[in-house]
Amino acid sequence: MVVLATGLSLTPRFYSRSSIVVAASLLLSAAPSSSSPRARAAAPASGYSPWRGRISSHPTAMATTQASEAATEKGLPLGMDVSMVDEYASQSKLLQEFVKIPTIGKAWIFNSKTENTSRAIVSVGQTDLLANKKRSFLLNSHISKNSSNSVDFQWSPFPIEMSGVSAVIPSPSGRKLLLIRNSEDDSPTKLEVWGPCQLENEIHIAQSVHGSLYVDEWFEGISWNQEETLVAYVAEEPPQPKPEFNDSGYKKAGSSEKDCKSWKGKGDWEETWGETYSKKRIPALFVVNISSGEVRAVKGIPRTLSVGQVIWAPSSSHSLVFVAWSSDNGYQKTPRKLGIKYCFNRPCALYAVPDPFMEEADKPSLNVSKGETAPTTKLTSDLSSAFFPRFSPDGKYLVFISAKSAIDSGTHNATNSMHKIDWPADGKLEGLSVADVVPIVMCPQDGCFPGLYCSGILRNPWLTDGQTMILSSIWGSKEVILSVNVVSREVSRVSPQDSDYSWNVLALDKDNILAVSSSLITVPQIYYGSEVCQTGKPNQWGWQEIATPFPSPSDKISAILADHKFSILKIPISNSSDKLADGAKLPFEAIFVSWKDSATRPTIVVLHGGPHTVYPSSYSKSLAFLYSQGYNLLVVNYRGSLGFGEEALQSLPGNIGSQDVNDVLTALDFVIKKGLIDASKVAVVGGSHGGFLTTHLIGQAPGTFVAAAARNPVCNLSLMVGTTDIPEWCFVEIYGKEGKNCFSEYPSFDDLCQFHQKSPISHISKVSTPTLFLLGAQDLRVPVSNGLQYARTLKEMGVETKIIVFPEDMHGLDKPQSDFESFLNIDDPLGMDALASEEYASQSKLLQEFTNAPSIDGAWVFQTNNEDRSTAMYSISQTNLLANNKRKYILFSHIMRNGTTLLDFQWSPFPIQMDGVSAVVPSPSGSKLLVVRNGEKGSPTKLEIVDQSHVEKEIHVAQSVHGPLYTDEWFHGISWNQEETLIAYIAEDSPEPKPVFDDTGYRKEGSSEKDCNNWKGQGDWEEDWGETYSKKGRPSFGEVRVAKGISRSLSVGQVVWAPPSSCGRQKYLIFVGWLEHNGFQNTPRKLGIKYCSNRPCSLYSTLCPFEESDVDNAPASKDGKLLVFLSANRAVDSGVHNATDSLHKINWPSDWKMDQYLEITDVIPIVIGKATRISPENSEYSWSALTVDGHNVLAVSSSPIDPPQIKYGHQVSLKDQTCTWVWDEVNNNPLMAANNKVKALLSHHQFSILKIPVTNPSDDLSDGSKLPFEAIFVSCKDSSHKPTILVLHGGPHSVSVSSYSKTSAFLASLGFNLLIDVQDCLTALDYVIEGGLIDASKVAVIGISHGGFLTTHLIGQAPDRFMVAAARNPVCNLSLMIGTTDIPDWCYAVACGSEGRQHASESPSPDHLRLFYQKSPIAHISKVKAPLLMLLGGADLRVPISNGLQYARALRERGGEIRIMMFPDDIHEINIPQSDFESFLNIGVWFKKHLSISASDASA
């Protein structure tokens, strides 16, 4: 390969060989840093060595790429070399042994006719890796008790698989079983009611009634009444109506779902409950009659309440009791749903409501004449939190749990309290009082009850005395079983006092308990507990181990785990302060699982998330697997964890990043000083807040850990606060209890500085530890941008980093395949009122007139045998709103010339639709046509060669050869050679190998795609080219034979054929190559390339792969003397994303001797250009060339409101022997004839380009910056009385030219003046106001991207000048955007100017964050008055939706009028046809509403 022209230089960087692939190589035998006291422990004696990797440095930036290419050539997954394969296979097989062990879920016990017998049902789960889900089973048992207190379980011979079942709910008596089968699409939900031997009823519930039932641990509430005739449950409310359109516009009357000529819009966007609930609607309450199958919604519950945990009350007019969470739980009670998963601090209350099947006589009286509905009674008005309600068996008490401490403090979890309500026998619910049962424990005495930490309660938790509840809770680092007497308020520990194992209650058998017990690496075992009476002593509980049919671990695993040591260590705190509460001075705990020779073994420090959760001593297959690899485990429950009293927990908020970090290091020092571990062999792993600690530790204690792994880690709070579903968490954990009061959707810059200073990223410069990142792409809690920013910064620094992204996973990474691979790798029309409806219908019909107009995408002209005749072919597209895509057509015309003046175009009668066609490329002579049909979803790509009469050849190219061809405007390169025998093109590289697993573990030899017994992992994550390219493979050459010798670090495009050498023996291809190491400091980061001309690229040549003897005699080209190309060198040098281009040429050597220096000559330089304008100089219309016809030019001309017209230009000699260009309008043009209605609406508009002087030019400005700028003004007939829209383009280094825009024409047709392409916005506005052209009191503004940045700046900096605004994917906060966008360099360029390149980093400094914030619209949001319409693309990578949402929520928080529309599948441009249509329709309605345009104004 020969480099022909280059505009970049490579800077050598140091990279390390990837060594963090599997658990056994997590610890590296690298020399520990001598600066750390923990690392200065004595070197281990020779012997067992479980780690296999060793760090090695490579001094070139391409080392990583070369290693990856070498692995790829051998068919290995990315990131894996040959030395890892056997280890990977061995460990994956072992890990599957742990994965196969079943888990015990729920259990139910029912009484039988005999007093000493009962029946049990146990729910069992087992991971199915191949299907990537969990299978569930039911196992039955007969329980027999004898007089000696012994018990016998007779298990059924086989379990029953519950395939397709979402939930199983036995009736209270056990005589009926309800199965829930939630649908995965729009099909009905099924409820099956089973009797002892048959299916008694099957109820199908359509989506129009309600959606899926909630079966999660939070909103779930499926409850039988005592008579077992009705079931109450929580399900998704039926879909809200969406605006509907057809070919006539907006449909006011609605339509049948079967109407195939209409499509539904998105309507207003609604908040969700965040993580795991992002695709759920509002949970609502329903009751079904199991005999008739009738379903009734419970009336009278406001939509602002999300309901859950419903139960039946004793006889009462309000027979249903449920929990409800208000959606107005944002700052100052604004309508914001903050994330609720794992968040006990969301205010909730108990409510009561009548059963919808209740007889009318029993219902509470209503005043129907006043429009009253069934009353919903709030039972816990004086309490901020109430959940898990349970009635006592006699119906006297309603007992429930409260997290009021979490709500008061703002922490996401805290010490619970238990309360009760004396339930009135007469059912009258007035004047109910709440009494305490178990108060909050602040500082537990040594060994005493630390408080209640309850994550769930049995459906029937009562012993037979009707007063004692049995439940599970946290006690230090253990789960324990407690008994609570709700009358005497006595709390007792039921599980063994001397056991460090965790115990959990499964079910009650009258006064006996079925429970499960386990340790971190000991699989769960079922126990049966009975109270043992002892004379003169308090009763004790005896526990009998139950033999079960559950499989024990394999002999191999049992042998590995047999000799482990397990203990819970009490760790005294270091540096106790007098300011600490007494509870915060108590020792915290760490669970230590060790080998006999632990002092010579490596150790993994394991850290939980939250931070207000706990890592209990119960079984974890992941930790058992890590232990089996030879590691000691140190699981640290630092202060702030659950189970140690409220004072210890509340000591952490305000001190994260310091107190918790010190606690971990204190625990580590504790085991080192006791000689339990080797200080030089320590790794650390954590998820979420545990990942926060992991990345803090490798920065604050850089010599301590030799390897680290972080799952969805919090690395930068200043970035997270604007992207997470729990922004208030950042405030509370940084500021403590005060953070709850200062929480805001738009944090101040001082807040952002605090967040940054307390984040791991502030210590990243000290990190040297190899780190593995495991990230869920669908994570809403800690979005993937947090981990990626930190990981990319480490790569920028040259620190060994490995990234695995799981595309479909959320925060927990709990999909079975993802969990398996991650631990394997560790060890390596809402808002529309009736008035708006009419406007909506009118405008939608008008907008369709503009949308239906076709557009010309390209044209080709081919010569014929007749000199005065040629043939033109046009590529035309037309929006198809119903199908939500664009139709493509081909239209032909014959061009006939008669002398120099007469011109005639003969058009074909009809265009030809190109269904399923991605691109058409005629051959140079026009005798052949290449038709490209890109395959979808793995199907082959088809290339069709068509001649004048038929398909000459059809070529099917499998995905294993390459993926779809690139047909975009950037990488696109489809090129015929002159002989029309070969075609070069750019296509997606064939997929990289992924690790393949089956039931024996990792498959070293690979597998057939048709093998149904294996599944593919994710392998290492690869960077992509950002916006529009996020799902595309690397662009590479495709000719069915792939061009060889091109490095994988090059993305190629724009290929052309070079002329043959003078001897005619060789064929070469010339192409553009973009180096993928274009991140900051030339790190392997692909920055976004869409619209980014500043990405360094060069011209390259390579030999045609079809170069054979049969083409030796190919004729030389007619000329081939010059290679001409454009350069964006100015953009590359300055860092701006677009700049003035230059044109260059290379004198091409006819002998193709490339060893000589090829001189590049300027054709049109940047400063002084020599070019001739051939379009009319007196025309303000825009002109664009379509193609060349000999010495003539085929072009189109248009204005913002005048559709394109085809023009044909030719040169005419004048009398003075000079030449000029004459342009003829093409006759009978069938393309752009606007209908009469549109013509009438636009007939009174005028169009001009204004020259606007710069006001008060500074001496610091260059001469060019002092020149007048321009604005396009489209005005109505009586413009000074009409409202005006300021239209701002994005970029900012782009332009809105005076060419046709259907959206501009649409807005003009509504009666608006348009001021387009404004550079100095307020100066331009003053210019037209002072000129009397517009009314200053009727001004709106709209912009996209940087235009949205200007829009939101203007309504903040000039709040009284704009009545209304609309922004599409706007840049609102640069300090947030920098960590989430695909173009972080842009933030530096626009904020810092040309100096930005010198300071650019993946991890901006606090000074840069301050600058970004100060230059952002959000800095001025407190002054905004204008109503704002926010239009956002859910898949935008350029300006991710977090930017617009943060700004919109902040406006709403301040009481501003804001409307949000979300288009889930759209990227930055919002250009999917239906989305584009609906967005501008709503812009028109929004502006007319706030600018008060009457119908007569518009028509005038």
Active site residues: 688, 779, 811
CA dihedral 674, 677, 681, 685 (to 10 degrees): -100
11: tokens are 């800077």
Tell me which residue has tokens 């040297």: 768
Cβ contact 680:706 at 8 Å = yes
Q: How would you write 1207-1261 as a 3-class SS string?
A: EEEEEEECCCCCEEEEEEECCCCCCCCCCHHHHHHHCCCEEEEEEECCCCCCCCC
At residue 767, φ and ψ (nearest 5 deg) are: -75, 135
Distance of CA 157 to the CA centre of its chain: 45
Cβ contact 137:159 at 8 Å = yes
Tell me which residue has tokens 């009670």: 333
Q: How would you write 824-865 as a 3-class SS string?
A: HHHCCCCCCCHHHHHHHHHHHHHHHHHHCCCEEEEEEEEECC
Among 271, 237, 440, which Cα is nearest to 340's? Answer: 271
DSSP annotation of 600 reads G
At residue 1399, φ and ψ (nearest 5 deg) are: -105, -5
Strand arrangement of the beta sheet that strand 951-957 belongs to: 919-922, 929-933, 941-946, 951-957
Among 527, 400, 393, which Cα is nearest to 464's? Answer: 393
**Helix, strand, coil share of the chain (percent; to 5):** 20, 30, 50
CA dihedral 1398, 1402, 1403, 1404 (to 10 degrees): 40
Cβ contact 733:739 at 8 Å = yes
Among 1239, 1329, 1325, 1340, which Cα is nearest to 1284's? Answer: 1340
Cβ contact 1338:1491 at 8 Å = yes
| Residue 603: exposure state from Cβ atoms within 10 A (0-12, 13-18, ≥19) | buried
* Rounded distance between C-alpha atoms, residue 970 and residue 1089, angstroms: 9
Among 541, 428, 731, which Cα is nearest to 149's? Answer: 541
* Rounded distance between C-alpha atoms, residue 159 and residue 1100, angstroms: 65
* Rounded distance between C-alpha atoms, residue 1252 and residue 1269, angstroms: 5
| Residue 1025: exposure state from Cβ atoms within 10 A (0-12, 13-18, ≥19) | buried
Sign, CA torsion 1466/1472/1474/1477: positive
* Rounded distance between C-alpha atoms, residue 357 and residue 354, angstroms: 8
Cβ contact 1145:1123 at 8 Å = yes
1044: tokens are 């060889």
* Rounded distance between C-alpha atoms, residue 187 and residue 204, angstroms: 9
Among 358, 112, 318, 379, which Cα is nearest to 227's? Answer: 358
Q: Phi-psi region for residue 1091, left (φ > 0), alpha (ψ -120 to 50) or beta?
A: left
Cβ contact 1432:1371 at 8 Å = no
Among 116, 224, 100, which Cα is nearest to 173's? Answer: 224
